[in-house]
Amino acid sequence: MSGFQDVRDVMDISGPMENIPRPPPAKKQKTVEKRPDGITRELFALLGENPPPVAIVENKFKEKPKWMGKANPWVWTPFKNPARSDDLTLYHWERKTESTEDSVYAFSKFNVSIDVPIPSEDEYAALRSDDWTREETDYLLSICRDFDLRWSVIWDRYDYPGKTRKLEDLKARYYNVCRSLMEQRTPVAQMTPEELVAYNLTNFEKEREGTRRAMAEKQFNKTEEQIREEEMLLTELKRIVGNQEKMFEERKDIFQRLNYPQSSGSIQQYQGSQGIAHLRDMLLANNDKNKKRKSIALGPSTGVETAQATPTSAVSTDRGNAPAKQERQEKSEQKRQVRKLTKEEELQYGVSQHEKLASGVKLRSTMNNSTIKGATQTKIMGALTQLGIPPKLTMCTVKTMAKMLQLESQVAVLLDTRKAIDKLEQEAKVLRAQLGLKEKEGA
């Protein structure tokens, strides 16, 4: 076991080894040899020098906990609740602490109540109503205070002699009173933002609340048939929407596949028997991909058919205009797929169309597109060298090639013109010489 030295090496600790105490190996051996309970001596001897890792469970009692210091006693303490108006003293057990005198009862903070306004005699003048007497209004406000504006309870306990009120009536009156009192105490223009929020909250629409409650009641009182019908309609709707989505998905897929890029190349090369064989080879090479796509195409397309073949009552109303819609969509789809490129775009993307292309790859510089052949060619070359332009372009792009061609043709035209001029001048010279001879004879 050289673990100890290894650790020293890893930690890069060097120094005299003598000072470091080494655990005596003999002792360690002894502890390993210790026979655990439950194994006989003979059996343990069979295990040899490397006993298997046997979990030794020693049955020992839990250690006695060490208490820190003295136990803090609990005292039967009187307390008063500030939430109460009387001086009721109750007792409870409390941990003995130094300052119990000035502590406030912890639960008194839960004593919260709602502020319900009380209209004064003057303020009530604005609240006068034929339906509500002053006494009934006061009763309403007091019951609202008693039940902390729990409207369900207020309505349940509302018991004013000779009146049966709906919940929305009670609410309307209460909020009306609150609103009016707020207005009277602080004019709307002078309200702080918080007050204004509270003020706006008191804007209670009785009619709307009534309708809402009636609707809730209707919803609650649905009969079993109505529920079943509703459930059925919901599942039907879910199914229809699901089908439609699936159909759109498949249709999109089909359109994508129908829209192959339109080939503008000629089919001349495939016309011979050899060409056809070549075409077949090419198709076969692409077959793997096609196969996969075909299988996808076959699956969902049958799904579409079944989906369309099971019309439902709800969908039947929509069926009349369904095909028309479909067509329209198809057209737009196609239009999108074969967009015509503008000239600029063609230039930008380097798209060019050719009448005929020879197979194979060629360098543009080796392509000889000029129509001028023979002696003129050499003459043109001569003219170009005269101008300092190399006969072969160093950078052949479509544009430079086009310019080159243009230049060549122009040079050719100029050369033609010069030739014509030379010819005419020659003729003119000859004629002039003849004229001079005739004048001499005539003179």
Partner 1 sequence: MSGPSTLPTSQAPSALEYGGDEISALVLDPGQCWTRAGFAGEDTPKTVIPSHYGYVNGGDEGKKYYFGDNDVHALRPGMEIANPMADGIVADWDVAPQLWKYALTSRLTTELSEHPLLITEPVWNTPKNREKTAEIAFEDFDVPAFYLAKSAVCAGFASGKPTALVIDIGASNISVTPIHDGIVLKKGSVRTPLGGDFISNQIRSHFAANGIPLSAHYQVQSKMPVEVGKPAEATLRQFKSGEEPTESWKAFQEERVLTEFKECTAQVWAGPGPVPAQGTEGIGGRTFEFPDGYNLVFGAERFRITEGIFAPRQMLIHGEIPHPDPETTQGFGGMVFSAVRDVDIEIKPHILNNTVVTGSGSLLYGLNDRINNEMANVFPGPRVRLTASGNSTERSYASWLGGSILASLGSFHQLWVSKKEYEEHGPGIVEKRCK
- Quickly tell me which residue has 């019951």 as its tokens: 143
Looking at residue 83, the DSSP 8-state letter turns out to be T
Nearer to partner 1, 58 or 224 (CB): 224
Nearer to partner 1, 110 or 349 (CB): 110
Cα–Cα distance measured from residue 335 to residue 331, given in angstroms and rounded to the nearest whole number: 6
Nearer to partner 1, 115 or 217 (CB): 217
CB of 117 to partner 1, least distance (A): 22
With contacts defined by CB under 8 A, name the span among 89-97, 125-133, 279-287, 411-419 that binds partner 1: 89-97
With contacts defined by CB under 8 A, name the span among 21-29, 83-91, 311-319, 352-360 that binds partner 1: 83-91
Where in 141-180 is the site for partner 1 (CB under 8 A)?
146-147, 150-153, 155-157, 167
* Given 32, 88, 375, 387, the residue binding partner 1 (CB under 8 A): 88
**Residues in contact with 41: Cβ distance below 8 Å, sequence separation at least 6, in sequence order:** 35
Cα–Cα distance measured from residue 251 to residue 137, given in angstroms and rounded to the nearest whole number: 68
Structure tokens at 397: 């792009």
Nearer to partner 1, 167 or 384 (CB): 167
Report if residue 93 touches partner 1, rule: CB under 8 A. yes
CB of 307 to partner 1, least distance (A): 33
Closest C-alpha to 243, from 168, 287, 304, 290: 304
CB of 175 to partner 1, least distance (A): 16
**Angle subtended at Cα 54 by Cα 51 and Cα 55, rounded to the nearest 5 degrees:** 150
Cα–Cα distance measured from residue 105 to residue 159, given in angstroms and rounded to the nearest whole number: 37
CB of 177 to partner 1, least distance (A): 21
Q: Are 179 and 202 in contact (CB under 8 A)?
A: yes
Report if residue 86 touches partner 1, rule: CB under 8 A. yes
With contacts defined by CB under 8 A, name the span among 88-96, 268-276, 360-368, 411-419 that binds partner 1: 88-96
Closest C-alpha to 75, from 52, 53, 98: 98
**Buried b vs exposed e over 29-51: b needs ≥16 C-beta within 10 Å?**
eeeeeeeeeeeeeeeeeeeeeee
Report if residue 77 touches partner 1, rule: CB under 8 A. no
Residue 270: other Cβ atoms inside 10 A: 15
For residue 184, the SS3 value is helix
CB of 205 to partner 1, least distance (A): 16
Q: Are 131 and 172 in contact (CB under 8 A)?
A: no
Where in 178-237 is the site for partner 1 (CB under 8 A)?
213, 216-217, 219-224, 227
Binders of partner 1: how many residues, by CB under 8 A? 38
Report if residue 92 touches partner 1, rule: CB under 8 A. yes
Nearer to partner 1, 215 or 347 (CB): 215
Structure tokens at 231: 């459930």
Write out the residues near partner 1 by the rule CB under 8 A. Answer: 81, 83-84, 86-93, 95, 105-108, 110-111, 146-147, 150-153, 155-157, 167, 213, 216-217, 219-224, 227
